[in-house]
Structure 1
Amino acid sequence: MTADSVLVFTRTTGFRHDSIPAGVAAVRVLAADDGLDVVHTEDPGAFTPETLAGYRAVVWLSASGNVLEPDQRRAFADWLAAGGGFAGVHGASTAEPDWPEYQRIVGARFTQHPAIQAATVRVEDADHPSTAGLPAVWEHTDEWYDFATDPRGAGVRVLLTVDESTYDGGRMGEDHPVAWASEYGQGRCWYTALGHSTELYEQGGRFLVHLRGGLRSVWS
């Protein structure tokens, strides 16, 4: 990839996370560290073959609901399959519920979450940029998403799991992935269910280590 820009897409037609502005600011900093510019938009008109050709990666940062028209969906899927990069953060798994192909891209579809609380996260695969800087087991406070299907069954590379025995209200069972990587044609995809609160983007720490590595995995 030769483009030196990243598109951050935050359109919401469903729930809107208060953390979106802080998330955009954090991605700008992380991209600048790698010599990349960030274009932030909520305009689905950016999803054309001509416009997407100018981006190294597209970050869906807590986008929600149906956000693209059919021709924009086709342009995005074609661009990604041809070698683009997709990073989905937190609410991105709530987006495009009426587009089955998006579930292949993001890996799994959100269903529900219990109250925000601390839980134990386990690194399943430490050989990925988004997990390489993390301890094998760590405590993290977030909004713990359940999914309609286990993404592991879709053939993704599971990176992090959450231990449901350490918090209340989880419905996935003993195997509960919360971050994973996959391929879509020639494209690279990464998703993390972490990233609900503004403080996670502003205070640094392990979440930003995780986010930095995930973004690098799709734009490097």
Structure 2
Amino acid sequence: MKTLCAFLLLSIAAVSASAAPIKALIIDGQNNHEWQVTTPHLKSILEQTGLFHVDVATTPPKGGDLSGFRPTFSDYGLVISNYMGDAWPAATQAAFVDYVRGGGGFVVVHSADNAFPAWKDYNAICGLGGWEGRNEQWGPYVYWDGTKIVRDPSPGPGGSHGNVHAFQVVIREPDHPITHGLPTTWMHAADELYNRLRGPAENLTVLATAYDDPANRGSGRHEPILFTVTYGQGRIFHTPLGHVRKGDLTAMRCVGFIVTLQRGAEWAATGRVTQALPADFPQAETVSLR
């Protein structure tokens, strides 16, 4: 009887452990966007799934002393960057690279791909980035030419965008766990459409693109708008979506942004996606907001 009771207790403990939320960490404190507004929103989006418990690590402000900024990345199954600012200490950089290379999940949100131009490993982890002096030395442009993904080494600056506007997102990898079951084409709410991103682009899979219309000062190309990267054993989900200015959260309130972030975060943390597609997901001509 005692053996049976012990077995049952162990079984209950195992079930409880497997059902425990994944510990996630958002990094913020500096950004050319309003991290004080966006971090609580990102935290809410992730915790709404019931899959994550989210902590926040906030750096000192720009120009401050970052020597004490040393999150214990290994405590987390997922790290989300909402950070674009001063370089982290060398020890923190090394710990982060070890975390991702060893199998940690990482999510890059919008201007976090502008960060750390001189940090080679971070550029490899993000796959693509923009601004901050990036050019052909950082790697190729990546875009869809109508039939396939192109890696274009042409010289030129990395990172630009046209006018904020709503645009269609087209799924290019419908069988990936993140995009499986999503409409082939859906309308994203008004946002910056990043173009001419460039970087190492190694082990990178473009999940979705968006046509960057020259009428909106765009590139005239289908730009990568959702993609994944693998780095060592780590999985990275990168969404250039999510521009916020003057407290306007329209881009982050888009159900397309919300759902792809939730699914991308689960995939980065676990390698699978268990979330069902919600009924209010946007369609080809219709924006959907929460």
- Name the SS of the counterpart of 2:225 in structure 1: strand
- Name the SS of the counterpart of 1:91 in structure 2: helix
The one-letter code sitting in structure 2 at the alignment partner of 1:24 is: P
Unaligned ranges ≥5, structure 1: none
Q: CA RMSD in A?
A: 2.6
Aligned position for 1:57:
78
- Name the SS of the counterpart of 1:161 in structure 2: strand
Alignment of 1:209-220 (within 5 A): 209-220=259-270
Deviations 1:191-215 (A, max 9, x none): 00111131233x4522211111111
Q: CA deviation at 1:179?
A: 1.2
Query: Which stretch of structure 1 is more off in the superposition, 22-31 or 159-168?
Result: 22-31
Alignment of 1:177 onto 2:241: no
- Using CA pairs under 8 Å that are at least 6 residues apart, name the structure with larger relative contact order, 1 or 2: 1
Q: 1:97 aligns with which of 99, 117, 121?
A: 117
- When the two structures are superposed, what TM-score results if normalisation uses the length of structure 2? 0.65
Paired residues of 2:28 and 2:35 also in contact (CA < 8 A): no
The one-letter code sitting in structure 2 at the alignment partner of 1:146 is: N
Larger radius of gyration: 2
Aligned length: 212
Unaligned ranges ≥5, structure 2: 1-17, 60-65, 131-158, 271-290
Aligned position for 1:161:
209
- When the two structures are superposed, what TM-score results if normalisation uses the length of structure 1? 0.84
Which runs of 4 or more aligned residues in structure 1 lie more than 4 Å from their structure 2 counterparts after TM superposition? none
Aligned position for 2:144:
none
> What is the aligned-residue identity percentage?
28
Q: CA deviation at 1:24?
A: 3.0
The one-letter code sitting in structure 2 at the alignment partner of 1:84 is: G
Aligned position for 1:199:
250
Deviations 1:157-184 (A, max 9, x none): 101101123752223x534211111111
Q: 1:116 aligns with which of 154, 164, 180?
A: 164
Alignment of 1:125 onto 2:173: yes
Deviations 1:19-77 (A, max 9, x none): 653443343342353343111122364545xx11211110002x113341222111100
